[in-house]
Amino acid sequence: MEVTLLGTGDTTGTPTVGCDCDTCERARDPDDRLRDALAARGVDASDGVERSRFSVYVENEATGETLLVDVGPDFRHQFLREGVALPDAAVVTHVHFDHLDGLGNAYRLFDDLPVYAADETDPVTGESVAGGIRSRYDYLDTVSVHPQTPYEPFEVAGFEVTLVPVAHPPLLCYGLRIEEPGTGAVLAISGDTCYDVPDRSRELLSGADLALVEGLIHAEACDHHPKGGAHHDENGVPRTFGTKHMTLEGARDFATGIAPDDYRIVHTAHFVPAERAFADDIAVDGERFSL
């Protein structure tokens, strides 16, 4: 399994349009120390560092098929930048803009793009993620939507994929367990979530070769959130920022709990101070992994 991180940022991405904070400036113009650190991770940062909207490209080396996880608004830029082929199928975790609103790119690019998403009805929206995709993109007959039941593995692109319920109120959202049957390689993706992930889901995300765990922001930022933080650790550090996302500290704790061979924090915002924003365990676009 070959994994390419197409997009590793939050809903505004890094750099953020119109922002001149230290983190966005450091991303636009990395110093030598950051360039060298990223080169060691296989990323060429000579034109800057990017965390575009979340999207992951997964290649099945046994079958040659490819799967896209989330279809973000940076789709065109990401595919051109990474030079990867169009995917054979996609899975969408939830209906937020930064994970879905690139699907309009399917127009003219695909004869058929099968999109897999959860079938359970969200009490808030009155429709499932699959239903939400169908109704938003009903004009795109090249997109076929394939509803799937959470916790029940299904096969796509030669992978065994399981939608794993997480906690991203008020919307339903799903993490993913993606297993390549031939090699047993496993990629775990937490999806957008707070720390309060059900035990059954944590178990399914456990023991992966690589885990991508969402972590939006450093814990101290909870002081400035109207709802503060939640799910504090034994030292009183909030592992959830507000109600919907993990803090960096929460993401690291979550990663420890599910014990992958390796992990990266994804979906990180530009609000993280510049000297902490590019730590080795926080993903940047263009990182690649062979599992």
By the criterion CB under 5 A, which residues form the site for Zn ion?
16, 19, 21, 24, 96, 98, 192, 270
Q: CB-wise, 19 or 84, nearer to Zn ion?
A: 19
CB of 120 to Zn ion, least distance (A): 17
In whole angstroms, what is the distance from residue 241 CA to residue 69 CA? 24
Q: CB-wise, 164 or 185, nearer to Zn ion?
A: 164
Q: CB-wise, 59 or 70, nearer to Zn ion?
A: 70
Q: CB-wise, 77 or 144, nearer to Zn ion?
A: 77
| Segment holding 81, helix H or strand E | helix 75-82
In whole angstroms, what is the distance from residue 172 CA to residue 219 CA? 24
In whole angstroms, what is the distance from residue 146 CA to residue 207 CA? 28
In whole angstroms, what is the distance from residue 262 CA to residue 38 CA? 17
Strands in 186-189's sheet, in edge-to-edge order, are 154-156, 159-165, 174-179, 186-189, 210-214, 262-266
CB of 158 to Zn ion, least distance (A): 27
Q: CB-wise, 191 or 238, nearer to Zn ion?
A: 191
CB of 159 to Zn ion, least distance (A): 22
CB of 14 to Zn ion, least distance (A): 7
Look at residue 256 and give its three-state secondary structure.
helix
Pairing, β 262-266 against β 210-214: parallel
Compute the chain's Rg from CA coordinates. Answer: 18
In whole angstroms, what is the distance from residue 80 CA to residue 27 CA? 20
Q: CB-wise, 3 or 24, nearer to Zn ion?
A: 24
CB of 236 to Zn ion, least distance (A): 26
Cα separations in angstroms, 182 against 4, 9, 60, 62, 159: 20, 31, 10, 7, 9
CB of 37 to Zn ion, least distance (A): 20
